[in-house]
Amino acid sequence: MTKTILTLGFFFFSSVLGIPASAQERVIVSHSVRGSLSIGPLLYGIEKGFYRDEGIDLLYVSIRADLGLKTLMTGDVDFIYSAGTGIRAAVQGLPVKILSLDFTKVFHSLMARQEITSAAALKGKKVAVSSFGATTDLSARASLRALGLDPTRDVTILALGGDTVRFAALQSGTVQAAMMSLPLNIQLKKMGYRELFYAGKILHEPLTGLVASSDKIKNNPQQIRKVMRAFVRGMNAFKTERASFVSFAQKKFSLSKDVAEEAYDYMVDSLSSDGFVEDTVIENAILTAKKMLGVSKPVSPADIVDYSFLREVVKKYK
C-alpha cells in the first residue's frame, strides 16, 4: 500500500512539475498538500535546479500526514516537509528530528459555504481537515474555539485528505466548512465563499520545515547536507526573487497574478530567520502538542530539533 501511495504521488508531481528522470540520487520528500503555496519555496528550489546541482533528484509526493510519518519511519520517504507533524511525532516519542523551521504562522483559513453566514450557522455542520492530528486539525479546533464554538460538540470534524479533496468537498456541499491553506483560501474568497477565521492570527508556531528520522541522520548525513544546501539556496531565492516566484506560482498552481502576489505577501510575513526560530516558539508548539495528545512527560526543544546541518549551510552562504 505504501509503495502504491508513493507512486501515485510521484506521478502527479512528475507531470505537474516536469521532473526529469536521471541517474542522480533519488530523494523523496512528502507533505499532505498538493495545491498549497506552503510548499512553494521547496518546489521553487526544484524548478531552479538547486537540488540537481547537488546531485539530488528530489521528488515531492503528496500523502496524508499520518501516512507520511509512517513512510518516514519505514524509510520509504527520506523527509517530510511538515514541522507541525514532526513536532507532534517527536512529542509522542518517535525518533524524528526537525532540521529547519521555515514558516512560523499557519496559512489556514476556516472557509465556509455561502449559506453559512456566521459561526452560529455552523453549529451541527461538517468541517473538513486533512487528517486528525495534522496542522489543519489543530487550526480548525483553534479557529472554532476562537469563534465561540466547541469543536467536539458543535460540529463534526471529518478527515478527508489533501487540500484539493477538501476544496472539492466544500464545493459539492459534502461539508459546509473546511480548513484551506494558501492560495485556495484566497481563491475561495474571490469565488464568494466566506472566511470565518484566519488561523494565522492566533497560531504563531512552526508550519513547514524539513524533518528526518534519527536513522537517516545517523546513516546518511551527507545526503542531508546536500538537501539542506539546496533548500537554503531555494529559500534565499524565494525571499529575493518576488517577481520570479510570483510568475512560477502562477504557472505551477494555475493562479491569477493578483492571487499569487497576495499569497506571496502572506508567506514572506511568516518566514523564519534562515530556518531558525527562538526556543520559546518551539516550546509553545511543544506545549500545544502535549495538550492535544495528552502527553505529560518533559520534552525540550533539544529533543526534537537538530540545527547542526542548517548552521553548517547557513554559515557558508552568509
Q: In order of start, what are the domains of the chain with their CATH numbers?
A: 2-104+205-317 (3.40.190.10), 109-201 (3.40.190.10)
Q: What is the pLDDT of residue 278?
A: 87
Q: What is the pLDDT of residue 8?
A: 41
Q: What is the pLDDT of residue 318?
A: 62
Q: How far apart are alpha carbons 235 and 241 in whole angstroms?
A: 10
Q: How many CB atoms lie within 10 A of CB 239?
A: 14
Q: How many CB atoms lie within 10 A of CB 18?
A: 10
Q: What is the pLDDT of residue 269?
A: 86
Q: What is the pLDDT of residue 84?
A: 87
List the pLDDT tens digit at each of the 318 positions of the chain: 444 344 444 434 443 344 445 478 999 999 987 778 889 999 999 999 999 999 999 999 998 888 999 999 999 999 999 988 999 999 999 999 999 998 888 889 999 999 999 999 999 999 999 988 788 898 999 999 999 999 999 999 999 988 889 999 999 999 999 999 888 899 999 999 999 999 988 888 788 899 999 999 999 999 999 999 999 999 999 999 999 999 999 999 999 999 999 999 989 988 888 899 988 889 988 998 898 889 999 999 999 999 999 999 998 776
Contact 36, 62 (CB under 8 A): no
pTM: 0.77
Q: How far apart are alpha carbons 242 and 198 in whole angstroms?
A: 24
